[in-house]
Amino acid sequence: MSIKIRVRGKVRGGVAEIKALMKHPMESGRRMNKKTGKPYPAKYIDVVEVLLNGTKVIEGEWSGAVSANPYMAVKVKANKGDEVVIKAHDNTGATGEAKLKLK
C-alpha cells in the first residue's frame, strides 16, 4: 500500500505556506479488535520529509500517536516556480510522494 498525499502551497512575500493531507490509517498497535480480542497491527507514518528544489528543508519523525489521515502545514522561504516534494514513509515500508510547483 502506498501513502496518498495531497499537497498545496502558495508564496506570499518570499514565504511559502505548504499544506499536505496524507491518507493513512495511523494505527498505533494498541487498539483491540472487539471480535478477536487481539490488537490491530501497528501501521503509522514514521518519517516525513519536505524538499525544496531537491534540498531537504524539514524532516519529521512521527509515531502512532498521530491521528488517522494526518494534515500538516509548514512555512519555508521560497520563490514562485520552486518545486516542493513531500515524502512519507511508514513503519511497514509503504511510501508516498507528492510534488508541487509553487505559484
Each residue of 60-78: pLDDT tens digit?
A: 999 999 999 999 999 999 9
CA 4 centroid distance within chain: 9
C-alpha angle with apex 102: 97 to 103, nearest 5 degrees?
145
pLDDT band at 1 (very low <50, low <70, confident <90, very high): low
* pLDDT, greater one: 1 or 55: 55
**Going by CATH, does the domain composed of 4-30+42-101 fall within 2.60.40.10?**
yes
Scanning the structure block, which residue is given the C-alpha cell 510547483? 101
This prediction's pTM? 0.91
